[in-house]
Amino acid sequence: MAQIEITNVSKNFGFGNRAVVALDRVNLQIEKGSFVSLCGPSGCGKSTLLTLMLGLQAPSGGEIRINEQPVLSPDKSIGTVFQDANLMPWRTVLSNILYPVELRRLPKAQFRERALELLDLVGLRRFADHYPAELSGGMRQRVSICRALILDPDILLMDEPFSALDALTRDEMSLELQRIWSLHGKTVVFVTHSIREAVFLSDRVVVMGLAPGRITEEFDISLERPRSAEIETVDRFNTLIHDIRGSIARGRIGVDVEMERT
Amino acid sequence: MSQRASAEVGDLAAPSSLWDRFVGSWAWPTTVFVLLLVGWEAYVRLSGILPVILPAPSAVLSYMWVQRELLLENAWPTVLHCLLGFVLAVVGGIAIAVLITQFTTIRRGFYPLVVGIALIPKISVAPLFTLWFGAGTVARVSLVFFIAFFPMVVSPASGLMSVDAGLLRMARAFGASRSQIFWSLRVPSAMPYVFDGMKVAMSLAVIGIIVAEFVTADRGLGYLVIFATGLLDTTMMLAAIILLSIIGLGLYFAIETAGRIVVYWRS
C-alpha cells in the first residue's frame, strides 16, 4: 500500500447554485520516499488538495489515508513548508524551528541539538540566535524547511515554497532541496507553478486541470540523480517540460469548453 | 552591502554640512524653544504687560523653584490618581478586549455598546461621578478610568484580531490548538497595538485627572490651577500647568520606552 492514498476525493465549497467543485474525484497514490510534484494552472485545486492532506479541512467525498490511517487532523508525521516562510518576527531562528516541538508539548531541550543540526544542513547555524528580519528571503525559507523537518516527519508537504524568491535563489533552493531529500529520504509532495522546477526535482509530476479541479495526466520523470544544472542540456529533460506544458494547456482549455456548454 | 548603499543614498539626500547636521539633531528644536522663551521674556519686559495677565518665564521658573515643596506636594496625588485610573483602564480594557475577541456571543452583545459609550464626551460625566462617588479619590480615579478605558479596549481588540493569515495557517498545519494560537500568536501580535492604545490612554488619563480635580479636589495640580485662578495668581497657574506638562511628557515617554523594549522586533 502506498504511503499516501487519495481515493475518489472531492471537495465542494458553498451550497446550491453557488457551489463550486474545487476537486472532483481525485485519485492519487504516493509511494514512501518518492518526490511528487503537483502542477497546474491557478484554481486547479492543488492547494486545496494539500489542505485536505494536512487535515485542516475534510473532503466532501472520498478518503485520504496516510500510513494507512485516515487523515482527521494535522499530524506530526507531516511537515509543511508554505509559500511564505511564515516565521514569527518576535522569535529567533532557533525558537521558530522549535515551534512545532512546543505545540506538540515535547521536551524542547531534546530537540535543540537536532534544530542546530538542521541549521547546519542548510548552512545557517551561525544565524540560530538571529531574528527573521535580519535574514534574506532565501535564508528565511531555509529556516522554514528546518522547522518542517524538526519533528522528523515522514512526509514533507511544500506549497509553492520557492515562488516568493528571485530566480537565482530559486535555482539554488532547488539544488538544496534535492540534497536534503536525498539525505533524509522523506516523501515530498511539492506544489509548484514552475514546470522546470517540478521536472528537475520530481520522480513524478502530476498535472491538474481546471473546472472542476482534477488530475489530468501523470508523468514519470526517469532522469538520473543527483541532478545538476547541467540537466538543462539533456534532451529528455526538455522534452518532458514541453510535454507537461502541453498537458497543462489542454487541462486549461477544459474551462473554455465548460463555459461554452453553460 | 545594503548598509553602504543606504549610506550613499543618505549622502545624496543630505549633503552633511554643519548646518544640516545641526537642523537634523536635538540641538535645533532646543534652540527654537530657548528663542521662544527669550522672545516671551523680552516681550513681557519691554511691553510692560501686567504680570497678572502674563508673567515673565523667569518669574514662573523662579516661582517653581521657590515653591517647589508646594508644587510637589500637589503633584503627588495627581500622579498617583492618574496612574491608578490608568492601570485599572489598562487591565480592564485588555480583559474586555480578550472577551470580545474570543467569544462571539459577547462580541455581538457588547461591542456595539462599547463603541456607543466610547462616543460619549467623557468629560461631561465628571459632575455625575461626583454625585455618585462623592468628592473623594474614588470619583477622580473613576473619571480617569472611564476616559482612558475605551482606547484600551479598541486597540488591543484589533491587535488580537490582526494576526497574519499566513502565520495562522502555519500554526494550524503544525497542530496548534485554539489556546496555543492565542498565547503564541495572538498575544505577541497584539503587543504593538496594546502599546499604541496605552499611549492614547495615558494622554487621556492626564486630561481626566485634571478635569476631575477641577470639579472636586482639595489637593492636586488641577486643583492648584483652579485655586490660582481664584487668587488671580497667574504665575502659580503657569507653574502648575508647566509641571503638569512635564509629568504628562514623562509618563508618555515611559510608555514609549517600555513599548520599545517589549515590542523589540518592531524597529
All residues of chain B having their beta carbon less than 8 Å from the beta carbon of residue A191 are none
A30 contacts: CB under 8 Å, gap ≥ 6? A2, A3, A4, A6, A36, A187, A189
CB contact under 8 A, B169 and A82: yes
Evaluate whether residue B52 is within a structural domain. no
Residue A11, SS3 per DSSP: strand
pLDDT at B36 over 80: yes
| Same domain, residue pair B177 and B222 | yes
pLDDT at B262: 94
Evaluate whether residue B11 is within a structural domain. yes
Give CA–CA dist B203/B234, Å, rounded.
25
Range of the domain at B65: 57-262
pLDDT at B3 over 60: no
pLDDT at A253: 65
Evaluate whether residue B150 is within a structural domain. yes
- What pLDDT band is residue B15 in, cutting at 50, 70 and 90? low
All residues of chain B having their beta carbon less than 8 Å from the beta carbon of residue A100 are 174-175
The structural domain count of chain B equals 2
Evaluate whether A216 touches A249 at the Cβ level (below 8 Å).
no
CB contact under 8 A, A86 and B180: no
| Same domain, residue pair B173 and B69 | yes
pLDDT at B8 over 70: no
pLDDT at A36 over 80: yes
Residues B106-132: tens digit of each pLDDT: 888 888 888 888 888 988 888 899 899
| Same domain, residue pair B108 and B170 | yes
All residues of chain A having their beta carbon less than 8 Å from the beta carbon of residue B169 are 56, 82, 86
- How distant is the alpha carbon of residue A27 from its chain centre? 17
Which single residue is written with the C-alpha cell 517653581? Answer: B64
Evaluate whether residue B86 is within a structural domain. yes
Long-range residue pairs from B251-257, CB within 8 A, at least 24 positions apart, any chain: B251/B82, B251/B83, B251/B202, B251/B206, B252/B199, B252/B202, B252/B203, B255/B195, B255/B198, B255/B199, B255/B202, B256/B199
| Same domain, residue pair B116 and B156 | yes
Residues A98-115: tens digit of each pLDDT: 999 999 999 999 999 999
For B86, counting Cβ atoms within 10 Å of its Cβ (0-12 exposed, 13-18 middle, 19+ buried), the class is buried
| Same domain, residue pair B81 and B202 | yes
| Same domain, residue pair B28 and B86 | no
Q: Does B266 touch chain A (CB under 8 A)?
A: yes
Q: Which of A76, A88, A133 has its CB closest to that of B175?
A: A76
| Same domain, residue pair B29 and B121 | no
Phi/psi for B3 (5° steps) reads -65, -45
Q: What is the ipTM of this complex?
A: 0.87
Residue B223 sits in a domain whose CATH number is: 1.10.3720.10
Q: Which of A119, A96, A110 is nearest to B184 (CA)?
A: A96
CB contact under 8 A, A103 and B264: no
All residues of chain A having their beta carbon less than 8 Å from the beta carbon of residue B163 are none
Please report, rounded to a whole number, the percentage of residues in chain A having pLDDT higher than 70: 96
CB contact under 8 A, B174 and A99: yes
Evaluate whether residue B267 is within a structural domain. no
> Residue A76's closest chain B neighbor by CA?
B174
> Residue A83's closest chain B neighbor by CA?
B166
| Same domain, residue pair B116 and B223 | yes
| Same domain, residue pair B187 and B158 | yes
| Same domain, residue pair B167 and B84 | yes
Evaluate whether B159 touches B193 at the Cβ level (below 8 Å).
yes
Give CA–CA dist B143/B113, Å, rounded.
19
Q: Distance (Å) from the C-alpha of residue B8 to the closest C-alpha of chain A?
A: 21
> Residue B261's closest chain A neighbor by CA?
A90
> Residue A104's closest chain B neighbor by CA?
B175
Evaluate whether residue B128 is within a structural domain. yes
Q: Which grid coordinates belong to B196?
A: 499604541
Chain B 147-166, residues with CB within 8 Å of chain A CB atoms: 164, 166
pLDDT at B14: 54
Evaluate whether residue B173 is within a structural domain. yes
Residues B223-250: tens digit of each pLDDT: 999 999 999 999 999 999 999 999 999 9
Q: Which residue has the higher pLDDT, A229 or B210?
A: B210
pLDDT at A173 over 90: no
| Same domain, residue pair B101 and B196 | yes
Domains parsed from chain A with CATH numbers:
1-77+186-262 (3.40.50.300)
CB contact under 8 A, B174 and A73: no
pLDDT at A231: 84
Q: Does B230 touch chain A (CB under 8 A)?
A: no
Residues on chain A bordering chain B, Cβ-to-Cβ distance under 8 angstroms: 54, 56, 73-76, 80, 82-84, 86, 88-90, 99-100, 102-104, 131, 133
Q: Distance (Å) from the C-alpha of residue A258 to the closest C-alpha of chain B?
A: 33
Residues B77-114: tens digit of each pLDDT: 999 999 999 999 999 999 999 999 999 888 888 888 88
All residues of chain B having their beta carbon less than 8 Å from the beta carbon of residue A102 are 184
pLDDT at A255 over 80: no
| Same domain, residue pair B189 and B213 | yes
pLDDT at A246: 84
Q: Which of A74, A86, A89 has its CB closest to that of B265?
A: A89
- What pLDDT band is residue A254 in, cutting at 50, 70 and 90? low
Q: Which of B58, B53, B50, B66 is nearest to B237 (CA)?
A: B53
- What pLDDT band is residue A257 in, cutting at 50, 70 and 90? very low
> Which of A228-237, B35-44, B244-253 shows the lowest mean pLDDT across its residues?
A228-237
Residues A41-55: tens digit of each pLDDT: 877 888 889 989 999
Evaluate whether residue B105 is within a structural domain. yes
Residues A124-147: tens digit of each pLDDT: 999 999 999 999 999 999 999 999
